[in-house]
Amino acid sequence: MTQSVFNLDRVKIRDLRPTQVTVGMKEVTEKQAEWEALSKSEREKYLDGHVVPAVLGPKARHFIVDHHHIARALLDEGRKYVWAAPVADFSHLAEDEFWSVMDHRSLVHPFDRRGRRVGYGEIPKSLLDLVDDPFRSLAGEVRGLGGFAKTREPYVEFVWADFFRRRILSKILTSDFDAVLPEALGLAHSSEARHLPGWCAPLPESSPTS
């Protein structure tokens, strides 16, 4: 029986269904390190503060629409359950209609590690099958360094990942991630990125006083 969308559901992390194809595994690893550094009481507070938003889909499965990195990190750390907050109930829909509705509401991101759109059938059925996209890791790192602001728009980091993907060579990023950061920050603050969500225009240089 489907629970009310206003309740929190205690769900096995292994049963959560992704709504995207990729994650930044560097970011997943960093979240694992954060988790390992927490005490037992701190971990409970962490879980209370990181409830996973989900849409109830066919067969009343929980399709998560955010916190993929946290959920994957917790799964890799051996955590069995997480709190999920259903934000919509589409469990009455057939699978093809479900994905169509999710797409129209910007609740799914069916793009692969090269930024190419794929069919809904290529979205992994398990968090363990999410594919690493180093440019998604780069976007998360740049945002953390103040390269752009967090917004309410969905999949913002993926939009920025595609921006960097077109301007930075993949082989350079994968061979020396940290060396790419200054270039990525410069691109993020440049006028080339002014169309992107969360763009932060650089402050103008102060003119000398007379």
**Three-state SS letters, 145-171:** CCCECCCCCCCHHHHHHHHHHCCCCHH
State residue 210's pLDDT score: 44
Task: Check pLDDT > 80 for residue 5.
Answer: no
Distance CA 30, CA 51 (A): 19
Distance CA 206, CA 43 (A): 46
Q: Which amino acid is at 52?
A: V
Please calculate the CA angle 182-188-155 and round it to the nearest 5 degrees.
120
Neighbours of 145 (CB within 10 A): 13
Task: Check pLDDT > 70 for residue 190.
Answer: yes
- The answer to whether residues 57 and 93 touch, using CB atoms and an 8 Å cutoff, is yes
Residue 206 or 121, more confident: 121
Residue 129 is given by DSSP the state G
Predicted structure pTM score = 0.89
Q: What is the pLDDT of residues 122-167, one digit of tens each?
A: 999 999 999 999 999 999 999 999 999 999 899 999 999 999 999 9
Which domains are seen in the chain, by residue range? 9-124 (3.90.1530.10), 134-193 (1.10.8.10)
Task: Specify the pairing of strand 131-132 against strand 22-23.
Answer: parallel
- The answer to whether residues 24 and 134 touch, using CB atoms and an 8 Å cutoff, is yes
